[in-house]
Amino acid sequence: MPERWLEAKGFLLDMTGVLYDSYGLTGTAIPGSCEALQLLRQHHVPFRFVTNESTSDRQFLAMVLSTLGLQIDAQEIIAPAPQVVKIVRERGLRPFLLVKDTVLQEFAGLKTTNPNCVVLGDAQDDFSYENVNRAFSILMNLPKPVLLSMGCGRYYKETDGLKMDVGAYCKALEYACGIQAECCGKPDPRFFQMALDSLGLEADAVVMVGDDVRNDVNGAQRVGMRGVLVKTGKYRTGDEEHGERRPDAVMENLLEVVRMYLHST
Amino acid sequence: MPERWLEAKGFLLDMTGVLYDSYGLTGTAIPGSCEALQLLRQHHVPFRFVTNESTSDRQFLAMVLSTLGLQIDAQEIIAPAPQVVKIVRERGLRPFLLVKDTVLQEFAGLKTTNPNCVVLGDAQDDFSYENVNRAFSILMNLPKPVLLSMGCGRYYKETDGLKMDVGAYCKALEYACGIQAECCGKPDPRFFQMALDSLGLEADAVVMVGDDVRNDVNGAQRVGMRGVLVKTGKYRTGDEEHGERRPDAVMENLLEVVRMYLHST
């Protein structure tokens, strides 16, 4: 009897650590990931990319990946910024954007004067005391403070070492203001739903492939998808045991996942 | 029958919000506080100052207060920096100091090369992403990360508005590193014990006077002191109901506390 995940009709693919390893605004393709994407396209298997990347807009991200040999359309990328824009529009919010300039394009057209919410991205060097304190002051002056964070990661790895991620600054603001943020991106179920809507498939017909057992695999499983963990990117031996639930499969890399899937169908 | 706190033999006095309201490196004396100190000295009532101030050293703090008419000896001030220095020396630690230059004098003589712990103060503008990330990297590279924070306040008030306090950055590092910090200063029982040792009195013979029901009043009560809340500084109506225990007394200001005490003895 084949494994359940092999019966899926489509894929959601994490980007960093599955397609490529990043450093700064560029990176290196993970061996086999270009071929894996080609195989999925050749066999007309639908897929989307889901990422918590918030340092650059999707156009830029697609352009960077194309220089690594990964042919991706910006429209295939589901990122936290569009989810935040959706929330902001639905609720009529005016955000103060504590984000890098390189992602601002995603927020074009939003009203930002007289802000009534704060949006956090991975602002890196723009996380100055002045900027963080500005966000804090805005939140403290609101009767109902709204803090939207594009991911709640602890840290990530670059070639020159580990870097604090946006989640740390989110916790700082939560503590200072005595509030709870809304974490957009993975593993927020609304974020996975956006990706499923874009794919046009139900959760139980989709497999999520990622290198993070909690945010990728368990997050997807929680909304009814299958979750496959790959041993690339930030994967460390034994990670599959450290989530709230075991992955549906643990594979060497994306190419192995795709080959086994195509072989079984 | 007199209230129990009136039987005390000595006082611990909070500084900001009890003696003076601060802004930047200066401030304004709270009406009656100069007279209150003079009365205590005239009547030979022993006292010490306990503060979570970590932006400047005690010499500088005493000098600032003297310009406001408050005659204070730096030796009478119990601050988080000397507590941190004590811990660092006892454990043979080499701190990375994420603090303002104006408090560095307190740490003179400590070994800081090849750091094996991080000390956080209210670094204000020095809380750059680069500096905070440096602290993060040091902690992540230690087999047993030690993070000492000089106070864990959420925010404080300056004339130009509320400012995020060191506690927010402490939470950011705790989250990013997956560790628990040691909070020095109020309400750490070890900190109150340092103040009692300096005073040479047992806890049940001492009254703490402060404008913060949790850090000052409840913190002191927890180690066996009496705690009196004053309605100056950051006091807001009803604060006396919001602690884990009611203050032993609630008074208008420090002068009223001292007059009632002297009247009863």
- A238 at B interface, C-beta within 8 A: no
CA proximity to A191, closest of A182, A181, A179:
A182
Mean pLDDT of B25-50: 95
Identity at B112, one-letter amino acid code: T
Residue B2: predicted pLDDT: 65
Long-range pairs, A39-46, Cβ under 8 A, ≥24: A39/A255, A39/A258, A39/A259, A39/A262, A40/A11, A40/A258, A43/A262, A45/A9, A45/A10, A45/A11, A45/A261, A45/A262, A46/A9, A46/A10, A46/A11, A46/A199, A46/A200, A46/A201
Mean pLDDT of A120-126: 97
Q: Is the pLDDT of residue B158 over 90?
A: no
pLDDT in tens, B86-98: 999 999 999 999 9
**Distance (Å, whole) CA A169 – CA B127:** 12
pTM of the full predicted structure? 0.91
- Asked if B168 lies within 8 A of A173 by C-beta distance, the reply is yes
- A179 at B interface, C-beta within 8 A: no
Q: How confident is the model at residue B234 (pLDDT cuts 50, 70, 90)?
A: confident
Q: Which fold has domain B4-79+186-264?
A: Rossmann fold (3.40.50)
What average pLDDT is seen over chain A?
Answer: 95
- Within 8 A of A123 by CB-CB distance, chain B residues are 129
Q: Is the pLDDT of residue A26 over 90?
A: no
Residue A17: predicted pLDDT: 92
Residue of chain B minimizing CA distance to A130: B125
Q: Which residues pair with A198 in a beta bridge?
A: none
Residue B1: predicted pLDDT: 55
Residue A125: predicted pLDDT: 96
pLDDT in tens, A232-254: 998 889 999 999 999 999 999 99
- A23 at B interface, C-beta within 8 A: no
Contact residues for A147 (Cβ-Cβ < 8 A; gap 6+) = A117, A118, A120, A139, A170, A173, A174, A177, A179, A181, A182
Q: Do residues B71 and B37 lie in contact, with contact meaning Cβ atoms separated by under 8 Å? A: yes
Q: Which of A125, A171, A180 to mutate to test the interface with B (most CBs of B within 10 A)?
A: A171
Residue A133: which of B126, B133, B164 has the nearest Cβ? B164
Other Cβ atoms closer than 10 A to A156:
19
Q: Which fold has domain A4-79+187-264?
A: Rossmann fold (3.40.50)
- Asked if A176 lies within 8 A of B161 by C-beta distance, the reply is no
- Within 8 A of B161 by CB-CB distance, chain A residues are 137
pLDDT in tens, A40-67: 999 999 999 999 999 999 999 999 999 9
Backbone angles phi, psi at B230, to 5 degrees: -110, 150
Residue A125: which of B127, B129, B167 has the nearest Cβ? B129
**Distance (Å, whole) CA B217 – CA B235:** 12
pLDDT in tens, A89-101: 999 999 999 999 9
Q: Is the pLDDT of residue B159 over 80?
A: no
3-class SS of residue B182: strand
pLDDT in tens, A205-234: 999 999 999 999 999 999 999 999 999 998
Q: Is the pLDDT of residue A157 over 80?
A: no
- Asked if A140 lies within 8 A of B155 by C-beta distance, the reply is yes
Residue of chain B minimizing CA distance to A160: B137
Residue A171: which of B133, B155, B175 has the nearest Cβ? B175
CA proximity to B99, closest of B67, B65, B134:
B134
- Within 8 A of B169 by CB-CB distance, chain A residues are 172
Residue B107: predicted pLDDT: 98
Structure tokens at B107: 């740490």
Residue B172: which of A133, A161, A169 has the nearest Cβ? A169
CA proximity to B183, closest of B25, B54, B16, B14:
B54
3-class SS of residue A74: helix
Q: Is the pLDDT of residue A2 over 70?
A: no
A:B CB pairs within 8 Å: 83
Q: Do domains A4-79+187-264 and A91-184 have the same CATH topology?
A: yes
Asked which of A261-265, B172-176, B205-209 is least confident by mean pLDDT, the reply is: A261-265
- Within 8 A of A167 by CB-CB distance, chain B residues are 175-176
- Domain parsing of chain B, residue ranges: 4-79+186-264, 92-184
Q: Is the pLDDT of residue B47 over 90?
A: yes
Distance, in angstroms, between A177 CA and closest chain B CA? 7
**Distance (Å, whole) CA A18 – CA A210:** 6
pLDDT in tens, B14-33: 999 999 998 777 889 999 99
Task: Please give the distance of CA A160 from its chain centroid, rounded to a whole number.
Answer: 22
Q: How confident is the model at residue B265 (pLDDT cuts 50, 70, 90)?
A: confident
Q: Which CATH architecture has domain B92-184?
A: 3-Layer(aba) Sandwich (3.40)
- B172 at A interface, C-beta within 8 A: yes
- Asked if A136 lies within 8 A of B169 by C-beta distance, the reply is no
Identity at A155, one-letter amino acid code: Y
Is domain A91-184 classified as CATH 3.30.70.100?
no
Mean pLDDT of A37-42: 98
Structure tokens at B190: 């070890």
Q: Is the pLDDT of residue A184 over 70?
A: yes
CA distances for A207 relative to A184, A253, B54, angstroms: 20, 14, 52
pLDDT in tens, B118-131: 999 999 999 999 99
Residue B61: predicted pLDDT: 94
Residue B162: which of A137, A164, A172 has the nearest Cβ? A137
